[in-house]
Structure 1
Amino acid sequence: MTLNILFFSITIKRRKISLEEADHQEMVKKLYEENKDRQMSMRYFM
């Protein structure tokens, strides 16, 4: 009788972001929301 066992070990480490990266992500999110609002307002005018 042969018993084959395979084990995996997964480590998840939280990534720390820099202040510049956090500012960039916030700006991208703000621009995305503005464009989304603009698209919605254009849709209602048509």
Structure 2
Amino acid sequence: MILNIFALTITITKRKISREQALHNENVKKIFEENQRKIESYIRIRQY
């Protein structure tokens, strides 16, 4: 005798921030990281 039991639980939670705000935050983070790389590159060039 084979008994297959599948349990599935779905949890729905409300978003704490809107999708637009999340995308904005992601873009801001990318721009910030890009600027940090540019600053580090500039500092390395100026040290030589």
TM range, normalised to the smaller chain? 0.5 to 0.7
TM-score, L = length of structure 2:
0.64
Look up the match of 2:41: 41
Query: What is the alpha-carbon root mean square deviation over aligned residues?
Result: 1.2
Look up the match of 1:7: none
| Structure 1 residue 25 displacement after superposition | 0.1
TM-score, L = length of structure 1:
0.67
Structure 1: give runs of 5+ residues left out of the alignment.
1-14
Look up the match of 2:9: none
Structure 2: give runs of 5+ residues left out of the alignment.
1-14
Query: 1:1-46: per-residue Cα shift (whole Å, max 9, x none)?
Result: xxxxxxxxxxxxxx71000000000000000000000000000001
